[in-house]
Amino acid sequence: MLIRYLGVTVVVLLSLALFFSFLAERTAPSLPLPLNDLALKVSAGEVAKIVIAGDDLKVTLKDGTMMNAKKEAEAG
């Protein structure tokens, strides 16, 4: 009886691990984006959303692509 419970537990844990590995693969990594390219994409109307966190810009394009840009250091 103990072996049966152990077997079921192993199958459940492996199933969960497999499920979460598929979720991790579906999350696309964000691509680096130079600021001049970001400006061109904004002008072309390709940008859906920009989230600013410190010096990091998290850009979401209208096609769902995620990109990262860095703000330039302020002068002075």
Domain harbouring 8, CATH code:
3.30.720
Radius of gyration of the chain (CA): 21
Q: What is the pLDDT of residue 24?
A: 67
CA dist 6 and 39 (Å) reads 57
Number of domains in the chain: 1
Residue-wise pLDDT tens digits, 44-73: 999 999 999 888 999 999 998 889 998 877
CA dist 67 and 33 (Å) reads 6
Full residue range of the structural domain in which residue 54 is found: 2-70
Residue 75 resides in a domain: no
- Provide the token pair at 34: 């130079």
Is-above-0.75 flag for pTM?
A: no
Residue 76 resides in a domain: no
CA dist 61 and 42 (Å) reads 9
Strand blocks (E) in 7-65: 31-32, 47-53, 56-61
